[in-house]
Amino acid sequence: MIKFGGVSAGEACTIVLRGGTNQMLDEAERSIHDAVAVLSQTVVEPRIVYGGGCSEMLMSKAADEASKLVAGKKSIAMEAFARALRQMPTILADNAGLDSADLVAKLRAAHYDGKSTFGLDLVQGDIVDVAGKVTESFKLKRQVLLSASEAAEMILRVDDIIRCAPRQRRN
């Protein structure tokens, strides 16, 4: 990798990519584009959330606790949403080649023990206090949750339509 420095703030700069195949170059270009887009949005909306599965575990805990105050099918749906949120730290650990069951159980116990800033350290393979170390863009996290919720809602609507009794036809 070649790094060019000395560019003043606000000036344009060029990134030169080299790769073995066109597919590698295309993927590198997409990755850089995504990273620059997230950075530019973070400048516009500077709020951040803790990463490493911390924010998902916090939301999962809140949904679990709120589900205990609601009766009926809504409670079951809220519990399922909490389980779905816990899948993010599981996926992070799995992708890092770590024992996700053990790490997520430790992370969940830490959050229920009041350690609300703990998340996964995928380099060390343990849970740590991620405050100021691992962060994510608030705007990006918000959009990811909204998109996932909307997708789940559409699936539920389709299931409702399929389960409805067919109309009576006139012969």
**Tens-place pLDDT, residues 1-13:** 566 667 777 777 7
Strands, E, within the chain: which ranges?
48-50, 118-121, 126-129, 135-137
Provide the pLDDT for residue 85.
92
The answer, yes or no, to whether residue 163 has pLDDT greater than 70, is no
Mean pLDDT of the chain: 87
The pTM assigned to this predicted structure is 0.72
Residues 113-129 have a mean pLDDT of 94
CA distance 109 to 125: 16
The answer, yes or no, to whether residue 135 has pLDDT greater than 80, is yes
Residues 139-161 have a mean pLDDT of 82
**Tens-place pLDDT, residues 83-118:** 999 999 999 999 999 999 999 999 999 999 999 999
Provide the pLDDT for residue 8.
74
